Amino acid sequence: MSSLLEVSVGLSRAPYKVLIGAGAVSSCGELISRVLKPSRCVVVTDSNVAPLYADVVEISLTHAGFQPVRVTVPAGESSKSLTQLGVICDAMIEAGLDRSSLLVALGGGVVGDLAGFAAAVYYRSIPYIQIPTTIVSQVDSSVGGKTGVNAAGGKNLIGSFHQPRLVIADTDTLRSLPEREFNEGFAEVIKHAAIRDPSMLDALDDLPALIARNVAIKAAIVAEDEFETKGLRALLNFGHTIGHGIEAAAGYGKLLHGEAISLGLLAACRLSVEKSGLPEEDAARISSALGFFKLPLRLDATIETDAIFSALKKDKKFTAGGIRFVLLRKLGDAFVSDAVTEVDIRGAIESLR
C-alpha cells in the first residue's frame, strides 16, 4: 500500500483522496477503514466484475470489520436505470442497511454512476466508496460526484451530485479488460490532454502515473466548480455534447461510451478549427492519438444526423434553448463558447462521415 499514488480532491466541504496503484483491491477494507468506521455495507457490482473481484473485496472488508452484502446488476448501459436503482435500494432495505451503513461501488462507469446515485438517495444519502475497474472510470467518472441514471429521453438526465468518501483505483483490474473496453477509456485521457495537458499525448504508456495525472486534472477542475455553476467544470464536456448524441442515436450498447466520445472529440476539434482558430496540426494530433487506440474516426452511415441532433438537443449542456459548446484555441486551452450554431453542429457531424 505504500506504493500507491495519492491525489487529493480538495473540496471545501468534503475533501477526499484517490489512491492509485497495483493490488489496492485486496487491501480495500483497511484503506476504507481509515476514512469510515466499520459498519454494515453493500457492495454493488455487475455480472462481469463480480466473478473477478467481488470475493476479494468482501474478504478484505470483512477482515477490516465491515459486514458486506452483495448486489449484482446485469453488465451494460441498460442497467443505468431507475429499475436497477430500485433493485439496489430494495436489496439494501431487505439487508437492514440504514443511515450508518456504507455503499461500495465496484465496477466501471455504469456501476459507479448507478451505485453512487443509490447512495445519494438511500436514507437521503449514505457514504459511498468508488472502486473503479475500467480506464474510463479510473480517469474520469469515479471522481467528481456526478451520479445518476439514464432516462428514455436522454443520458444522465436523472441524478445528483454526491461525492465519494474515497476512490481506490487498482491498475491490476485493467488487465482483465478486453481490448475494446481497454482502448475506449483512452478517449477520456485524450480529452484531458486536449483541454489541460497536451504533453500526456506523448506519455500514454505508464498507467499508474497517467491515471494520476488525469485524476489531478479532473480533481482541480471539480474543486473549483463542484456543482457546475461557474462554467469551469463544463470544460470536462469537451467532445461530449455531440458524443452523447451519437451514443444515444446509435442505441445504447452499439458504441461504447469512449467510442462515441472519440467521434465527439473529432467533431469538436473540427468546430474549434473553424470557430476558434485551433491549428490543423493540433486537431491532427488528437485524431492520431484516437487512431492509435483503435477508436472510431468515422461515423457509421446508418446513424442519421437528425437522430443525433434530436438526442443532443436534450443534453443538459443546451441551456435555456442555447448552446454552450466547449472549443479549443490550441491544445491545453479550452473555453466555453456560445458562438456555435445548430448549423455548425450539423456540419461537424457530417464531417465525420
Q: Is residue 240 among the annotated active site residues?
A: yes
Task: Look up 192 and say whether it is catalytic.
Answer: no
**SS3 of 292-352:** HCCCCCCCCCCCCHHHHHHHHCCCCCCCCCCCCEEEEEECCEEEEECCCCHHHHHHHHHCC
Name which of 110, 113, 117 is nearest 92 in CA terms.
117
CA distance 140 to 186: 10
The domain segmentation of the chain, as residue ranges, is 5-177, 228-350
Catalytic residue among 155, 162, 191, 218: 218
pLDDT at 28 over 70: yes
Catalytic residue check, 237: yes
pLDDT above 90 for 158: yes
Does 274 or 311 have the greater pLDDT score?
274
CATH 1.20.1090.10 fits 228-350, yes or no: yes
Residue burial 318-328, b: 16+ Cβ < 10 Å; e: rest: eeeeebbbbbb
Share of the chain above pLDDT 90, in %: 88
* Banded pLDDT at 318 (limits 50, 70, 90): low
Does domain 5-177 correspond to CATH entry 1.20.1290.10? no
Choice among 80, 155, 257, 324 that is catalytic: 257
3-state SS, residue 30: helix
Report the predicted TM-score, pTM, of the whole model to 2 decimal places.
0.92
Per annotation, catalytic residue among 240, 270, 285, 324: 240
Residue with cell 468515422: 298
Query: Annotated catalytic, 77?
Result: no
Q: Please give the grid coordinates belonging to residue 30.
A: 483497511
| Same-fold call for 5-177 versus 228-350 | no
State the chain's mean pLDDT as an integer: 95
Of these residues, 213, 233, 270, 324, which one is catalytic?
A: 233
Count the residues in the chain.
Answer: 353
Active site residue 218: yes
Residue from 13, 124, 281, 298 carrying the catalytic annotation: 124
